[in-house]
Chains A and B, each alone.
Chain A
Amino acid sequence: MSNIWYYVFTLVFFLFDYFILAMGLNIQYGETGILNFAYIGFVAVGSYVTGALALPSSVGTGQHYILGLGLPFPVNLILGGLASCGLAVVVALISLRRLRTDYLAMVLISLSLVLYDICNNFVPLFNGADGLYNVPEPFAGVLKLTTNSFIPFFAAVTGVIAALLWWVMSRITRSPQGRTFRAIRDDEVVAAALGKDVFRNQLKSMLIGSFYAGVGGGLIIQFSGSFNPTAWLPGETFVVFAVLIVGGVGNNVGMLVGSLVVETLLIHLPAFLPAIPGHPGLIEYFDSVLIGILLMAMLWFRPQGIVPERVRRALSLGAPANLVAGRGEAPGSAPGRPVPVEIATADAQGEK
């Protein structure tokens, strides 16, 4: 297979993977309003756990890591997602109660750095700064895949998983549960006054989003076979937010569009450009400057994103057509039923 196809399928993989990651952050921020600035930490936990579960026991591998159970592919991925959920419980208990936005942002971004610091320095956990490598490629043995055929194969697997997770997420966002999330996003105090347990719902949303983060992270280590701390500095969370903002906060389809624009076109495509001789990394630096400027421009000129949040109309919510049709339709006509008002007013005066 020629190099060009290798590049193309790598781009396709990251398109689907960041679609998954963005959906996870979107349920947290876009639907529920939780500003999770530690998101990349959840991705990393999923990635490490998925990788460490797929690897055989660490004895004799030259690496140091926990777990090492040699589990087959989808099992380790699901457990990786659940490990990320475990972190979500801890984070939610510490930070979701009574912290205002700026506090939460600072605490979470610090948490993300501390997780990074621990994984980077504490070698017995996930091999320290070297990270995990030589992670077995899923199905490679069974299907007799070569390194070259594995790339398109796994990009397709990721596509299928992304489609499945998209279906699940649309079910959630369309359900009354999703509506309650959005109510909390718009105004926590009102949601609570309407009988919604805000913390419980935020926790649910954190768990769902963290599972997506963990699975997205697990797919990364399965795709590339390795994962180390340089991949998840706290600033990486910003990239996922960029996907959200460019695509359109609160819209699952927007996540796919955002992933295409930000992750595929702006981040991974320039990485394939040849370096400018004598200036290593310069393209990457310019690229990052460009992403930063694009994001600010996007927020200013089109804050709703490329695909804005949908308005959920009555008919789409399951209102029978006959119920909607034929009632005080014409906009601008005097609304409401006038009768009870007059009766009531008369009552009021009668009591005087």
Chain B
Amino acid sequence: MTTDRTTTPATGPDETRFALSCDGITKAFQGVRAVNGATFDVPEGLVTALIGPNGAGKTTVVNILSGSMTCDSGTEHIGGTDVTNWPSYRIARLGLMRTFQLSRELGGLTVLENLLVAAPDQAGESMVNVFFRPSAVRRQERENVARALDILETYGLFHLRDNRASDLSGGQKKLLEISRAVMASPKVLLLDEPMAGVNPALIERIGGYILDLKAAGVTVLMIEHNLSVVERICDHVIVLAEGQTLATGKLSDLRENEEVVQAYLGEVIDASTHG
């Protein structure tokens, strides 16, 4: 299962490069296989959807890819680097950011501080700099604050900058999660159901933000149930079922795949229509 490949061979017709790929990922909880050999590539610079019925192991895959969880076997590559079972902070420093299905805001920090935490390579995180290079720390801090405020303005959270993150509404927390990840200037962004439980107007807005990110060159992998959203904003789809990759390709192609439609898409559509 664990073939050793430093870079994923380009299989697509147009020399697609892959930002992220995993091969034969397995993970068991108390003997139950949640992920059972998931293998797929995420094309660089595109928006890819990870779909599948409930219990297919989608969130577990995202947890493993982002390093929040270790896998039992299999390999993961980001760019050309083997990052299998790296701790999540090292994966994050390579430029992979993630959001969480249930928003996990840093509740005691303000909205602005939530973003500032995510700024990469902060001089002020070293005690030596704090005491002996205060001006450098201050200068960088000012730049980060300015950038964070810009991002907050983009994501419509500017007026909430000084509120504690725990006081935000559900939809605002979703936006905060995405803007926090954006603050880290990610190359790859994993979004775990960014549109779950938000109102239709906000779904439109979040969809817009994701396409903006794509335009800025960010590779996006998102778990999404709502097929109309997938159809509109995702270029590529990975179908996961029972912990395995069932099919990959364009949604329009997958719709013709009898197996996918009968076994899974039907269920996904059902699930999405029930909210």
Question: Does B bind A?
Answer: yes
Please tell me if the beta carbons of A328 and B137 are within 8 angstroms of each other in the complex. no
B residues within 8 A CB of A190? 100, 104, 106
* Chain A 167-187 interface 0/1 with B at a Cβ cutoff of 8 Å (1 = within): 010011001110110110111
A residues within 8 A CB of B207? 344-345, 348
Instruction: List B141-189 residues whose CB lies under 8 Å from chain A.
Output: 141-142, 145-146, 149, 153-162, 164, 180, 184
Interface stretch (choices A12-20, A126-134, A195-203, A226-234): A195-203
- Given contact pairs A186-B109, A194-B118, A337-B153, A177 touches B126 in the complex (Cβ within 8 A): yes
Please tell me if the beta carbons of B211 and A344 are within 8 angstroms of each other in the complex. yes
Interface stretch (choices A64-72, A74-82, A265-273, A308-316): A308-316
Cβ-based interface call for A319 (8 A)? yes
Interface stretch (choices B33-41, B53-61, B91-99, B217-225): B91-99
Please tell me if the beta carbons of B208 and A179 are within 8 angstroms of each other in the complex. no
Contact of B145 among A168, A314, A337 (CB under 8 A): A314
Please tell me if the beta carbons of A323 and B125 are within 8 angstroms of each other in the complex. no
Nearest CB in chain A: distance from B85 CB, A: 14
B residues within 8 A CB of A337? 153-154, 156
Please tell me if the beta carbons of A336 and B155 are within 8 angstroms of each other in the complex. yes
Instruction: List B108-134 residues whose CB lies under 8 Å from chain A.
Output: 108-110, 112-113, 116-120, 122-127, 130-131
Nearest CB in chain B: distance from A255 CB, A: 17
Nearest CB in chain B: distance from A349 CB, A: 6
Cβ-based interface call for A62 (8 A)? no
- Bound Cα distance A333, B138 (Å): 32
Please tell me if the beta carbons of B116 and A195 are within 8 angstroms of each other in the complex. no
Instruction: List B180-236 residues whose CB lies under 8 Å from chain A.
Output: 180, 184, 204-205, 207-209, 211-212, 231-233
Cβ-based interface call for A59 (8 A)? no
- Given contact pairs A176-B125, A176-B137, A176-B141, A328 touches B113 in the complex (Cβ within 8 A): no
Instruction: List B56-95 residues whose CB lies under 8 Å from chain A.
Output: 66-68, 87-89, 92-93
Interface centre among A313, A317, A324, A340 (most CB of B within 10 A): A317
- Bound Cα distance A192, B155 (Å): 23
Please tell me if the beta carbons of A344 and B208 are within 8 angstroms of each other in the complex. yes
A residues within 8 A CB of B9? none
- Bound Cα distance A186, B119 (Å): 17
- Bound Cα distance A182, B164 (Å): 13
Cβ-based interface call for B107 (8 A)? yes
Between-chain CB contacts (< 8 Å), 6 pairs: A186-B109, A190-B104, A193-B67, A317-B113, A335-B160, A336-B205
5 additional contacts (CB under 8 A) given A190-B100, A311-B164, A323-B145: A168-B131, A175-B124, A179-B113, A179-B116, A183-B117
Q: Which positions in B face A, CB cutoff 8 Å?
A: 66-68, 87-89, 92-93, 97-98, 100, 104-110, 112-113, 116-120, 122-127, 130-131, 137-138, 141-142, 145-146, 149, 153-162, 164, 180, 184, 204-205, 207-209, 211-212, 231-233
Query: 7 closest pairs, A vs B, by CB?
Result: A336-B156, A344-B208, A176-B124, A195-B92, A335-B156, A348-B232, A186-B106
